[in-house]
Amino acid sequence: MSTGIEKSEATGEEDALEALLADRAIAHDDHLNAPGFVVNPTDVQDVLTDLREEAGYDHLSCVTSQQYEDRYETIYHLTKFADRTDEVSVVVPTSLSNPVSQSAEPVFRTADWHEREAYDLVGIEYEDHPDLRRILLPETWQGHPLGGDYDQEKPQLVTLTEHENPIQPDHHDQESDTMFLNIGPHHPATHGVLHVKTVLDGETVVDVEPDIGYLHRCEEQMCQQGTYRHQIMPYPDRWDYVSAGLLNEWAYARAIEDMADIEVPEYAQVIRTMSAELCRIASHMLALGTFALDVYGEFTAIFQYTFRDREVVQDILEELTGQRMMFNYFRVGGVAWDLPEPREDFLEQTRDFLDELPAKVAEYNDMVTSNEIFQTRCVDTGVIDAETVKDYGCTGPVARGSGVDYDLRRDDPYGYYEDLEWDVITRDGCDNYARVLCRMQEVEESAKIIEQCVDLLEDWPEDERTVQANVPRTLKPDADTETYRAVEAAKGELGIYLRSDGTDKPGRFKIRSPCFSNLQALEEMSEGEYIPDLIASLGSLDIVLGEVDR
């Protein structure tokens, strides 16, 4: 069920956009997923403001930057929270000699980090950007690694210096004084190697700045070096590595299947849907366990309970894929192999898990969400309202916990989700508690989906079990085909931008990671609150550094 082709029908909207942009659109550069308008680097804010205010494109999903032989290019992938399938790309070319473009930060807050990343890795500079410095690589790095003439062989220097209190000079008087506190990069509450520069006034957080890049392992470079057909698929497993591998693989699979126009057999889509939801459960279980660990130091009960349940899910996935974590199970055009034989045993094993799940969820509700200490820590802390969520491009449980009804499985359907009965969970608490509850209820919804898939798989006629489409051994999409496709991963909207250059490897492979955008909103959640609430907010954002840094 490829969904990328129907786009050309929507010409009426395109005309309206053309009228709106008028002569600011100097050319067309259509992508497979959306119409693309080329605009001058000096018109960026203008155009984006109009698209946001007039045409309703309120979600800046991703900012892609790349270097061609003759120019730099920044692409703003816009869409709507209310209608995900309505997309538009704004393409901003800049010259090689003077790669300066207007920043989109004043229009979309989320552009801040995205543009810093573009500056860091590709080398485009953004005018009006509030704080244009490197974000993933160390400050002292020489060159821009995804730019054209980068020499990887050259040595680099990395410093280890004391951090300074950024607001000391203007936040110091007789009565109050601030304290600078480093949280991480080696700290149990940061869920990996995140470094949070925090400034405290007493116990109140006055300034927070996440410092990322401690796990920037060049995922985009790795994917650009691999061939479409087989060499890229193992890497997505390692972006969001808390057993959400299949969800990530699906993001790449969807993008390349859209680009190479491959129809996935329905049977494979059902298997994909089922296994991806199992991954979601495993991922949300880990989120719950570590969150409980963060907010009330619960290493013995909740944490161990969630890991007990994760083990069950991992056993099922291991039966199916042969791996506990790095599944590498999806293939371009389907999945690697059918369900393990004997099928009945495998389906039985999955059913057993689903049968036991309601009791376990009830147990979690007894122990965690109705716990008074837990509620004291979570309710009304880390508040972020729906408007701010949209401004920062937050997605997934973070957005849905703030009442933004946005889920790609329903809004931009793929796989087999359309034909199944399930609900999108939203809560309007806007706080840490709402986000945690949202995840727990999503576990139940995922269980519903899996149950239906198991039923379908059980009755599927034996001679129609095609697990892979007929895909050529070497994929070479036409040169300069571009697409941006996203799926609903465990943490939110995981998008892939692909540009082909006519060879069997992508010309540009850009990952839009949900955690990256979600983490950016941390300062909105925690400034002005107490330091323990900062830790709770960090936990409820459920970030994975492998995906933040890529």
Cβ-based nearer residue to another protein, 454 or 511: 511
Q: How far apart are CA 487 and CA 413, in angstroms?
A: 9
Cβ-based nearer residue to another protein, 237 or 391: 237
Segment near another protein (CB under 8 A), from 73-81, 308-316, 329-337, 435-443?
A: 308-316
Instruction: Compute the least distance from the CB of residue 159 to another protein, in Å.
Output: 5
Segment near another protein (CB under 8 A), from 33-41, 301-309, 366-374, 449-457?
A: 301-309
What's the number of CA atoms in the CB half-sphere (13 Å) around residue 9? 6
User: Residues 157, 174, 341, 359: which binds another protein (CB under 8 A)?
Assistant: 157
Q: How far apart are CA 251 and CA 255, in angstroms?
A: 6
Instruction: Compute the least distance from the CB of residue 55 to another protein, in Å.
Output: 39
Cβ-based nearer residue to another protein, 301 or 479: 301
CA distances from 229 to 275, 483, 505, 512 (A): 21, 17, 9, 21
Instruction: Compute the least distance from the CB of residue 237 to another protein, in Å.
Output: 8
Instruction: Compute the least distance from the CB of residue 93 to another protein, in Å.
Output: 25
286 is an interface residue for another protein by CB under 8 A: yes
User: Residues 12, 155, 169, 461: which binds another protein (CB under 8 A)?
Assistant: 155
122 is an interface residue for another protein by CB under 8 A: no
Note whether 288 and 308 are within 8 A (CB): no
Collapsing DSSP to helix, strand or coil, 442 comes out as: helix
Cβ-based nearer residue to another protein, 225 or 376: 225
466 is an interface residue for another protein by CB under 8 A: no
Q: How far apart are CA 242 and CA 500, in angstroms?
A: 30
CA distances from 497 to 214, 218, 239 (A): 24, 16, 15
Which residues of 212-351 form beta strands (DSSP E)?
330-331, 334-335
Element (H, E) at 64: strand 59-67
Instruction: Compute the least distance from the CB of residue 150 to another protein, in Å.
Output: 7
145 is an interface residue for another protein by CB under 8 A: yes
Cβ-based nearer residue to another protein, 225 or 375: 225
Judged by CB under 8 A, the number of residues near another protein is 54
User: Scanning residues 181 to 240, which ones bind another protein (CB under 8 A)?
Assistant: 185-188, 191-193, 213-219, 221-222, 225, 234-235, 238
- Two structure tokens written together for 483: 């697409």
User: Scanning residues 372 to 431, which ones bind another protein (CB under 8 A)?
Assistant: none
With 0-12 / 13-18 / 19 or more C-beta atoms within 10 angstroms meaning exposed / middle / buried, residue 417 is buried
Amino acid identity of 373?
A: I
Instruction: Compute the least distance from the CB of residue 226 to another protein, in Å.
Output: 10
Angle value at C-alpha 3, between 29 and 446, nearest 5 degrees: 130
Q: Which residue has the tokens 């980068």?
A: 150
- The 3 state secondary structure assigned to 366-399 is HHHHCCHHHHHHHCCCCCCCHHHHHHCCCCCHHH
Instruction: Compute the least distance from the CB of residue 238 to another protein, in Å.
Output: 6
Q: Which residues are 77's β-sheet partners?
A: 62, 89
Where on the chain is the footprint of another protein (CB under 8 A)?
Answer: 136-142, 145, 150, 152-161, 185-188, 191-193, 213-219, 221-222, 225, 234-235, 238, 241-243, 286, 303-304, 307-308, 310-311, 324-326, 545-546
